[in-house]
């Protein structure tokens, strides 16, 4: 996509070239040791509370879990496209991305270096819409531990005009590179015919290589649902983009994939005390997820009663370091329980890296 400062995510490029608008074409587009600070271990993966950093490399509005982020797939069937795992053995993408037999999808925790590939054994195109299904050779939730499929919407989309949706994909960024997972949040401006349309308003958008990537919203039950697969859009990558509506294809999708299950747990394991997902406080109330996105001058963190809330930055005991944390050379630093925690990765011959699936700054 592109923003005026950064390409965030993008649509699909044909193998032979680009059309006037991106989209629609053929073939895609040492043991642990103490750091001396609160007893944090050199390998903080088992010591920290998992959290998701919301920004250009992570969702900016939706409370996607690390497992759901893993479901955003790079699709390679002869050209670069994007998609999303909607069931253990099925990926949703655009029909114009289909190409050579075989191919694979790739996912991973590191948005810049996804590295877990699964072979595609069957490609199914919808008979009339620009939407398709890819059957995988393996159960993605087994092949990639922690991956959580993002289910399709089971509701009408007409009432979503004026709300904000999140798009994702692996397409071209403004530096000309592609293949890294990016997100962008944009308003839904139209639901008409076979498409749901979002508008980057000259500031951001999807681009070449993002075709088939998902458009997602928060449903009434507080779960994140896929409402569309990217078909085509603005050739400048900062305007209007059109997503094929999954509600129109639901019967066909479920005929192949199976019925879309209802959430097993209305809060998906989130407790009343809640958790911080980047700048969003998420907690369970009356068996339904509740969210509160903090303003720019606030931080999400546990309050005096132990429940997550938005607090003024001036009250931040960690001095601006959040639960995701950061790498300071070979030292992983993050905020947990109102205290700054550190793990000296270099002491164990490891490097510090940001790993969304494991909570943020970790040693590996």
Mean pLDDT check: name the lowest of 206-220, 301-315, 347-361.
347-361
Here the tokens at position 23 are 């989209």
Whose tokens are 């609160």? That residue is 38
Mean pLDDT across 11-22: 39
Answer whether residue 316 shows pLDDT above 60.
yes
pTM of the model: 0.65
Burial category of 172 from C-beta neighbours within 10 Å (exposed 0-12, middle 13-18, buried 19 and up): buried
Tell how far CA 311 is from the center of its chain.
26
Stronger pLDDT, 201 or 248, i.e. the higher one? 248
Which whole-number Å values give the CA distances from 73 to 107, 139, 325, in the listed order? 5, 14, 25
DSSP state, 348? G
Answer whether residue 79 shows pLDDT above 80.
yes
Express each pLDDT in 145-165 by its tens digit.
999 999 999 988 988 999 999
- Cα separation, 248 vs 342, in Å, equals 50
The DSSP bridge pattern shows strands 308-312 and 326-328 to be unpaired
Residue 40 — pLDDT band, cuts 50, 70, 90?
very low
The DSSP bridge pattern shows strands 240-245 and 195-199 to be antiparallel
- Cα separation, 320 vs 316, in Å, equals 7
Express each pLDDT in 86-142 by its tens digit.
999 999 999 999 987 789 999 988 887 888 999 999 999 999 999 999 999 999 999
Domain ranges, ordered by start, for the chain: 275-363
């Amino acid at each position: 996509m592109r923003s005026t400062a950064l390409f965030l995510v993008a649509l699909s490029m044909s193998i032979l070239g680009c059309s006037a608008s991106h989209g629609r074409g053929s073939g895609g587009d040492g043991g642990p040791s103490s750091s001396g600070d609160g007893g944090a271990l050199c390998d903080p993966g088992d010591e920290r509370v998992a959290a998701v950093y919301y920004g250009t490399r992570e969702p900016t509005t939706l409370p996607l879990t690390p497992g759901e982020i893993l479901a955003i797939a790079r699709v390679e069937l002869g050209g670069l496209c994007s998609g999303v795992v909607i069931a253990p053995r099925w990926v949703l993408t655009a029909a114009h991305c289909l190409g050579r037999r075989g191919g694979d999808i790739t996912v991973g925790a590191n948005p810049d270096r996804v590295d877990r590939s699964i072979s595609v054994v069957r490609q199914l195109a919808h008979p009339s819409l620009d939407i398709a299904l890819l059957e995988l050779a393996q159960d993605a939730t087994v092949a990639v531990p922690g991956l959580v499929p993002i289910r399709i919407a089971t509701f009408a989309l007409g009432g979503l005009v004026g709300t904000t949706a999140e798009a994702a994909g692996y397409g071209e960024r403004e530096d000309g590179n592609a293949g890294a997972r990016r997100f962008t949040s944009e308003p839904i401006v139209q639901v008409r015919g076979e498409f749901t349309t979002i508008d980057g308003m000259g500031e951001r958008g999807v681009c070449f290589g993002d075709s088939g990537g998902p458009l997602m919203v928060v449903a009434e039950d507080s779960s994140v649902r896929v409402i569309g697969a990217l078909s085509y859009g603005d050739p400048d990558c900062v305007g209007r983009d059109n997503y094929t509506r999954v509600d129109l294809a639901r019967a066909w999708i479920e005929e192949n994939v199976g019925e879309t299950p209802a959430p097993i747990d209305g809060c998906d394991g989130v407790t009343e005390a809640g958790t911080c997902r980047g700048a969003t406080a998420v907690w369970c109330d009356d068996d339904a997820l509740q969210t509160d996105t903090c303003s720019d001058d606030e931080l999400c963190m546990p309050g005096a009663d132990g429940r997550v809330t938005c607090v003024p930055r001036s009250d931040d005991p960690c001095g601006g370091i959040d639960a995701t944390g950061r790498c300071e050379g070979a030292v992983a630093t993050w905020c947990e329980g109102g205290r700054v925690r550190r793990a000296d990765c270099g002491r164990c011959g490891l490097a510090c890296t940001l790993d969304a699936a494991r909570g943020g700054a970790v040693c590996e």
